[in-house]
Amino acid sequence: MSARGGIDLGGTKIQTVVVDEDNRVLGQARRATPLKGGPQDVAEAMAAALRDAAAEAGVEPRELTGVGVGSPGAIDASAGSVGQARNLPDWEGVFPLAAALTDALEGVPVRLGNDVSVATDAEVALGAGRDARSLLGVFWGTGVGGGVVLEGRTWDGEGAAGEIGHMVVKQGGARCPCGRRGCLEAYAGRGAMEARARRRHQEGEKTDLFHLMRKHDRPRLTSGIWARALAHGDKLAIELVDEAVEALGTGVASAVNLLDVQVVIIGGGLGLRLGEEYRARIADAMMPHLFNDDRPPDVRLAALGDLGGAIGAALLVA
Amino acid sequence: MSARGGIDLGGTKIQTVVVDEDNRVLGQARRATPLKGGPQDVAEAMAAALRDAAAEAGVEPRELTGVGVGSPGAIDASAGSVGQARNLPDWEGVFPLAAALTDALEGVPVRLGNDVSVATDAEVALGAGRDARSLLGVFWGTGVGGGVVLEGRTWDGEGAAGEIGHMVVKQGGARCPCGRRGCLEAYAGRGAMEARARRRHQEGEKTDLFHLMRKHDRPRLTSGIWARALAHGDKLAIELVDEAVEALGTGVASAVNLLDVQVVIIGGGLGLRLGEEYRARIADAMMPHLFNDDRPPDVRLAALGDLGGAIGAALLVA
């Protein structure tokens, strides 16, 4: 039996899988992403999480034929390095992540890819996009990532296509974590939503969001905290999520007007946690902006769920 | 010698060319698009304009090996029909344009294509996009049309990609001629700009725009009228064109963030008339919104000028 590893490196958590030849998940593990330290600490946490998944699968890490990594930041796949990973601790510079992981995993070959691209590729190969001629993957999490797949292949452009989160939905609008104004992510990114909630709470607005965060011992407003606050009818949470849905509908419709893709796949931590109800709400929010509203694209939830990124990473070494 | 015809059917004018095997222009002609009547009247004006171009080229229309047409509206190339051409008189239904032209041109085969696609294809084959791996054509005229070319081929999506004019630049923004809100075209389309100028003029704002229009005997605010008003320092014209440039910068940057194309080509009646100065201003207006602003795309003017659409149409029968 030949087994491979996959690591999805996120700003909040590290998700790992070990899969077999048919991409069936034999083992999986999850760890919190270190909030302090630097790239080497993150690499060690990644290796530890992969060892956990291998243990669950009943294989030794050194028996893996390879390990793929889906990472944020600027990936240089041939050099095996990652730079400018702003959601990770002290990771502005370029770090040789592939070599660090190979060291930590007893010599296993490691291949790097972009986190959003590998998650999109996984949905195309194994998930909700298997039958699609063209699709847009929309990953609604800390940020809003996008993957463009045309005729079955990821479109990278000059190396960095898919920044749907930084399409402008409102000229002169809210400040985005990227520093620009009016980006989709400024309204729909969980990071921007938390910053806005915190500011309004500090200004005296009532909300249970931060109470729930402390009660569940979370360092930030996770997707689960947002879902709980919505379920409790928290007014501020409802308002901010409504704004996010509106912005997603606008931005995704703009992208569809440009590309006329057949399928839109909604994934990401918040997208998956809020699930079917919000998939339908995003599809509805697109309608007023779709140029061809007589044949809207098919809006689907990512089928591989939370493991999609890690499974897609494992496809890098298939 | 084998010659071909090309017809660019616009809401304001009909431009025709006759070209040789090397796509050199042997003859050209231009007529105003009929503002009244119906599709048959438009077809007759198109045939007359093509006869003029053939006469200038010294060939008989029946000697042409084919005539291509770039048309607005919903094109069915295999049926040879055009429907929903809203900028043309009484053309909501489906009209067999190819057959009507073949009849009027003594049996010459006619092939239809989308006006924006053929203009984009012409720039790729013969103009400013010859060396580009990927590009976005932006046609700034009565509306704002877009052409997406990836790896040398036009991307049509499910049949209607490229609607950059209906990407949203401002959620909840100005009403667009398409009926939606906040589209790029609501700020940058010459049709929408004229409607706004007219409203503000009627509300008492000073402007020379309509005086210039009457003086030059134009039925509407043509690109030339806008250019003259700008040259005169007309405040309302300057303000509305500034808004258009701002919206173009925002919308085109959004498209580039999604697709990361190498080249952007600015064409269309207004784009070509305002020329290099405004090309540079649009490129500047993109900068605050570009995610990868360290390597912006190369923004170029369409090289084939006013004839690009007609030459591109002639490529349909090459």
CA distance A254 to B167: 4
Domain ranges of chain A: 4-118+308-315, 131-302
CA distance A260 to chain B (A): 5
Task: Enumerate residue ranges in chain A where pLDDT < 50.
Answer: none
Tokens for A113, please give them. 């890819």
B246 contact A CB<8A = yes
A177 contact B CB<8A = no
Fold of B130-302: Nucleotidyltransferase; domain 5 (3.30.420)
Which 8-state DSSP code applies to residue A77?
A: T
| 3-class secondary structure, B206 | coil
Do the chains contact at A134 and B261, CB–CB below 8 Å? no
Cβ proximity of A38 and A96 under 8 Å: no
Q: Which residues contact A270 (CB under 8 A, 6 or more apart)?
A: A140, A141, A190, A223, A226, A244
Which of A262, A283, A260, A255 has the alpha carbon at shortest distance from A271?
A: A283
Beta bridge pairs of residue A264: A136, A299
CA distance A233 to A167: 30
Helices (H), A20-62: 39-57
Q: Tens-digit pLDDT profile for chain B (318 aa)?
A: 799 999 999 988 999 999 999 999 999 999 999 989 999 999 999 999 999 999 999 999 999 999 999 999 889 999 999 998 877 888 989 999 999 999 999 999 999 999 999 999 999 999 999 999 999 999 999 899 999 999 989 999 998 899 999 999 999 999 999 999 999 999 999 999 999 999 999 999 999 999 999 999 998 999 999 999 999 999 999 999 999 999 999 999 999 999 999 999 999 999 999 999 999 999 999 999 999 999 999 999 999 999 999 999 999 999
Q: Measuring CA to CA, how many Å separate B257 from each of A167, A174, A256, B249, B291?
A: 6, 18, 14, 12, 6
Query: Which superfamily does CATH assign the domain made up of A131-302 to?
Result: ATPase, nucleotide binding domain (3.30.420.40)
CA distance B240 to B246: 10
DSSP B38-91: -HHHHHHHHHHHHHHHHHHHT--GGG-S-EEEEESSEEETTTTEEE--TTSTT-
Which of B169, B158, B256 has the alpha carbon at shortest distance from A254?
A: B169
A305 contact B CB<8A = no
Chain A stretch 139-158, residues whose beta carbon is closer than 8 A to a beta carbon of chain B: 146, 148, 150, 155-158
Q: Measuring CA to CA, how many Å separate A198 from each of A87, A189, A210, A221, A233?
A: 19, 14, 8, 10, 18
A254 contact B CB<8A = yes
Q: Measuring CA to CA, how many Å separate A228 from each of A13, A16, A207, A237, B231?
A: 19, 26, 12, 10, 60
Q: How confident is the model at residue A87, as a pLDDT?
A: 77
Exposure on the CB side of residue B147, measured as CA atoms within 13 A:
30
For A72-86, what is each residue's pLDDT tens digit? 988 999 999 999 887
Q: Which residue has the tokens 């040398």?
A: B152
Pairing assessment for the beta strands A67-71 and A110-114 based on DSSP bridges: parallel
ipTM of the shown complex: 0.94
Exposure on the CB side of residue A297, measured as CA atoms within 13 A:
38
Q: Measuring CA to CA, how many Å separate A300 from each of A152, A246, A283?
A: 17, 17, 9
Tokens for A226, please give them. 């947002």
CA distance A233 to B213: 58
Q: How confident is the model at residue B88, as a pLDDT?
A: 87
Task: Judge whether A4-118+308-315 and A131-302 match in fold.
Answer: yes
CA distance A71 to A112: 7
CA distance A120 to chain B (A): 15
Q: Provide the CA B63 distance to its chain's centre, in angstroms.
A: 28
Indicate the residue type of A234: D
Closest-approach residue (CA) in chain A for B253: A167
Q: How confident is the model at residue A84, as a pLDDT?
A: 87
Do the chains contact at B150 and A148, CB–CB below 8 Å? no
Indicate the residue type of A30: R
A-chain CB neighbours of B178 within 8 Å are 291
Q: How confident is the model at residue A270, as a pLDDT?
A: 96
B-chain CB neighbours of A181 within 8 Å are 288
Number of H helices, E strands in chain A: 10, 12
Do the chains contact at A163 and B258, CB–CB below 8 Å? yes
CA distance A204 to chain B (A): 28
Q: Which residue has the tokens 């990770």?
A: A88
Element (H, E) at B264: strand B263-267
Exposure on the CB side of residue A70, measured as CA atoms within 13 A:
29
Nearest by CB to A167, from B133, B148, B258: name it.
B258
For A202-225, what is each residue's pLDDT tens digit? 999 999 999 999 999 998 999 999
Q: Which residue has the tokens 């055009």?
A: B82
Indicate the residue type of A44: E
Write out the CATH class of domain A4-118+308-315. alpha beta
Q: Which residue has the tokens 């893709």?
A: A261
Q: What are phi and psi of A29, to 5 degrees?
A: -155, 160
What HEC string does B194-215 produce?
Answer: HHHHHHHHHCCCCCCHHHHHHH
CA distance B81 to chain A (A): 19
Q: How confident is the model at residue B89, as a pLDDT?
A: 87
Nearest by CB to B260, from A157, A183, A251: name it.
A157
Which 8-state DSSP code applies to residue A223?
A: H
